[in-house]
Amino acid sequence: MKLSAMLRAFGGMLLIACLAFTLSACEGEEGPEGPQGPAGPQGPQGEQGEKGDPGTDGEDGEAGTAGCVQCHDVSATVKAIAVQYEASKHGSGMTFERNGTSCAPCHTHQGFVEVLETGQGSTAASIMNPAPVNCRTCHNIHVNYDQSDYSLAASDPVTMFTGETYDMGSSNLCANCHKPRSSDLPEIDGPDFEVTSIRFGPHHGPQGSLLIGASLIKLPGSVSYSSMNSHENVDDGCLTCHMAEAYGAQSGGHTFSMGYEYHGHTVGNTAGCESCHGEIEDFDINGAVTEIEGYIAQLKALLEAEGCLDEEGYAVPGTYGANLAAALWNYRYIALEDRSMGIHNPRLVKAVLQNSIEAVQ
C-alpha cells in the first residue's frame, strides 16, 4: 500500500475515535420523566350478573309514641293534674332550701327518695342543689313507661316515734312526712320537765299521726279516751278528703286543699266527707269544730297564765311540772301544728283538750 493511502486510512480512524470521545464527554445527567400520555381505549365490560328478587316487607313496628300515650293521652287529665299541683303548697316549692340532714327528707325531692331507700330518719349529708317535692317524688315516673309509672313510690305502713302504726292505704305515702319527729315527752305525773325551745311540741305537719291518735299525751281526767281514731273506716285516710273532686286549681285533686275562694268568701270542699256524713254545708258537723275552738281558747288562756306560753303561741323555755308540760305539748300539737281544729280526729281531740284543761287547773 502506498504511504499516502495508509495515512488517509489512519486519519479516518482517528476522526471516528475523536468523535466518539467528544460525544461521550458531552453527554449530561438524565432529564425528568415526560408527561404521561393519554389512556388507551378501555376494553369491553364483562356481563353483569342477574339481580336477585327483592325480599318481602316486614311488619310495621309499634309506633315510637305508643308507650307515651298510655299516660300522656289526648285528654286534659295530665294537664289538669299539673296545674293543680303547681297551685298546691307542696308544689309551690317554698321551703325546699331546707336541705340539712334532718329537714331534707321531707323538704327536698332528693332527701325523700334517699330515706325511702335507706330507711334512715335523715340523709347522710346535706342535699346539694335541692329540688322541690315533685311528681317523681311520690310516683314512679318514667320507670316502665306505662300506667305503672303512676304507682306510688311508697305504700308500706309507717311507725310513729311513739310506737303507733299508720296503715291507711294509699295515704301511707303521706304519713312518711306528716308525722312528728322524735322528741322527749314528759311523763304523766312524772318529774319536772325542762322545756328548752320556743318550738316545743311536734314538728310541723303531724296530721297523719293525729288521724290515728298518735303522739298526743293522754292525760287522765274526767273524759275517757273511747276512740283513738274517729276516721278509722276511711280506707285511704288523707287522700279520701284532701284529693276529692277538684274545684279547678283551688281545692281537691292534686291541690290537696280543703277549701276555695268563691265570690269573696271561703267555701269548704266537702265532697270527700259526704260519703260518710251525707250532704253537708261545712266542716262544723254538729257544732264539733265550734266546741273544740272553745276548748283551744280556754287552754291557751290557762297556759299563758301559767307563764309557759306567750301571746304568739310560742313555748316559754323553763322547767315545769310534767302534766303542765304535757298540756303545753297537746296545745301546740292541736292548735298550731295540726291546725284542723279537731277535724282529723274530733272525739280524741275533744277528750285530750278537756283533760289537759283539768290538768292545768
Domain assignment present for residue 53? The answer is no
Domain boundary among 104, 126, 153: 153
Specify whether 210 is located in the same domain as 317: yes
Other Cβ atoms less than 10 A from the Cβ of 158: the count is 23
Domain presence at residue 316 = yes
Nearest-angstrom CA–CA distance, 340 and 332: 12
Listed residue (292, 323, 296, 159) closest to 230, CA to CA: 292
Same domain, 183 and 325: yes
What Rg value do the Cα atoms of the chain yield, rounded? 45
Same domain for 218 and 309, yes or no, is: yes
Residue 158 is placed in which grid cell?
309507717
Q: Is residue 4 part of a domain?
A: no
* 65 occurs within a structural domain: no
Residues 78 and 141 in one domain: yes
| Partners of 230 in beta bridges | none
Q: Looking at the structure, do residues 178 and 256 belong to the same domain, yes or no?
A: yes
Q: What does each of the 361 residues of the chain score in pLDDT, given as a tens digit? A: 554 555 465 555 555 554 454 445 445 566 677 778 777 677 666 666 677 778 888 888 777 677 787 777 767 888 999 999 999 999 987 799 999 999 999 999 999 999 999 999 999 999 999 999 999 999 998 888 888 888 999 999 999 999 999 999 999 999 999 999 888 999 999 999 999 999 999 988 999 999 999 999 999 999 999 878 888 889 899 999 999 999 999 999 999 999 999 999 999 999 999 989 999 999 999 999 999 999 999 999 999 999 999 999 999 999 999 999 999 999 999 999 999 999 999 999 999 999 999 999 9
The residues with which 194 forms a beta bridge, in sequence order, are 319
C-alpha cell at 328: 303545753
Q: What is the dihedral of CA 348, 349, 351, 353, to 10 degrees?
A: 160
Domain count, the chain: 2
Please give the single-letter amino acid code of residue 300.
K
> Is residue 56 domain-resident?
no
Where a domain ends, among 153, 182, 207? 153
Shared domain check, 173 and 137: no
Do 137 and 182 lie in one domain? The reply is no
Residues 94 and 228 in one domain: no
Residue 226 is assigned to a structural domain of this protein:
yes
Residue entry with cell 311540772: 321
C-alpha closest to that of 355 among 326, 332, 335? 326
C-alpha to C-alpha distance for 237 and 170, rounded to whole angstroms? 8
Q: Within a domain: residue 99?
A: yes
- CA atoms within 13 A of residue 241's CA, in its CB half-sphere: 22
**Domain carrying residue 140:** 71-153
Domain boundary among 153, 181, 214: 153
Considering the domain architecture, whether residues 146 and 174 belong to the same structural domain is answered as no
Q: Could you report how far apart the first and last alpha carbons of the chain are, in Å?
A: 175
* CA torsion, ordered 292, 314, 204, 110, to nearest 10 deg: 170
Residues 346 and 238 in one domain: yes
The structure's pTM equals 0.80
**Same domain (yes/no): 205, 273:** yes
Residue carrying the nine cell digits 470521545: 21
Question: 193 and 141 in one domain?
Answer: no
